[in-house]
Chains A and B, each alone.
Chain A
Amino acid sequence: RKEVEQDPGPFNVPEGATVAFNCTYSNSASQSFFWYRQDCRKEPKLLMSVYSSGNEDGRFTAQLNRASQYISLLIRDSKLSDSATYLCVSSGAVNSGYALNFGKGTSLLVTP
């Protein structure tokens, strides 16, 4: 079983819509969590870190639920430029050698 699992989508949403992605992780010892954005054939770029208390950056809100071992990303007022693949990442578990674990990504297409 993969350490981090995401719904691959694609999620097709109209401009202005609110969309939410969830991601589950299997290693309860994981310490750090992130959301990355990746455009086609480009390098992943950090979108935001995910904290236990939840955090918000403009239109983006990330939350962590340790009890249920899932991470969420909410995008409000979607823009065309939000079209990309969103990668969920867990890391820092001592019992997995501190390896970073990437989900396969969720594809988002925002349409006019």
Chain B
Amino acid sequence: EAQVTQNPRYLITVTGKKLTVTCSQNMNHEYMSWYRQDPGLGLRQIYYSMNVEATDKGDVPEGYKVSRKEKRNFPLILESPSPNQTSLYFCASSLYVRQPQHFGDGTRLSIL
């Protein structure tokens, strides 16, 4: 089954404790992206990747890192999480940049 898989689905952690949210797709898509969704602010793009070893900042990259060492994986790293990063996070992928995106189920992060 074609899918985008994110882990974990839910995480409660504390300020400053490094965490990684994994994202994997099995559709051989070139374009991958991370978003956060907050009430009243909608979906905002954090980082995106056009292909392996090609990543770029979206609208709200501060406090986040990404890497794209393999085509299928695009982890989101929070080196020193802070409470303002409490949010619902989505990973998405598409064959190319202008194609419709497939979204993962989402990761709900709470930073205390």
> Residues of A at under 8 Å CB distance from B?
31-32, 34, 41-46, 49, 87, 91-92, 97-105
Contact = CB atoms under 8 A, between A and B. Distances in A.
B43 interface: yes
- Interface size bracket, B side: 20 to 34
B101 interface: yes
A99 B48 contact: yes
Majority secondary structure, A binding face? loop
What 6 A-B pairs are tightest by C-beta distance, nearest first?
A104-B42, A43-B103, A92-B98, A102-B43, A32-B98, A46-B100
B58 A99 contact: yes
A88 B39 CA distance: 17
Contacts of B7: none
Contact of B100 (A49, A99, A102): A49
Most buried by A among B50, B98, B104: B98
Contacts of B48: 98-100
